[in-house]
Homo-oligomer: A and B are copies of this chain.
Amino acid sequence: MRTRPSKPEGLLLKTLGRAIRERREAMGLSQEELGDLSALHRTYIGSVERGERNITLTGIKKISMALQLSAAELIKRAES
Chain A residues at the B interface, C-beta cutoff of 8 Å: 8-10, 12-13, 16, 54-58, 60-62, 65, 70-73, 75-76, 78-79
Q: Do A79 and B70 have beta carbons less than 8 Å apart?
A: yes
Q: Do A60 and B61 have beta carbons less than 8 Å apart?
A: no
Given the complex of chains A and B, what is the CA–CA distance between A60 and B8 in angstroms? 11
Instruction: Evaluate whether A57 and B58 lie within 8 angstroms (CB atoms) in the complex, with A70-B79, A72-B76, A79-B70 already known.
Output: no
State the Cβ distance, A7 to closest chain B Cβ, in Å: 8
Please give 11 more A-B residue pairs, beta carbons under 8 A apart, in addition to A8-B65, A10-B58, A56-B56.
Answer: A8-B61, A9-B62, A12-B57, A13-B58, A54-B56, A70-B75, A71-B79, A72-B72, A72-B76, A72-B78, A76-B76
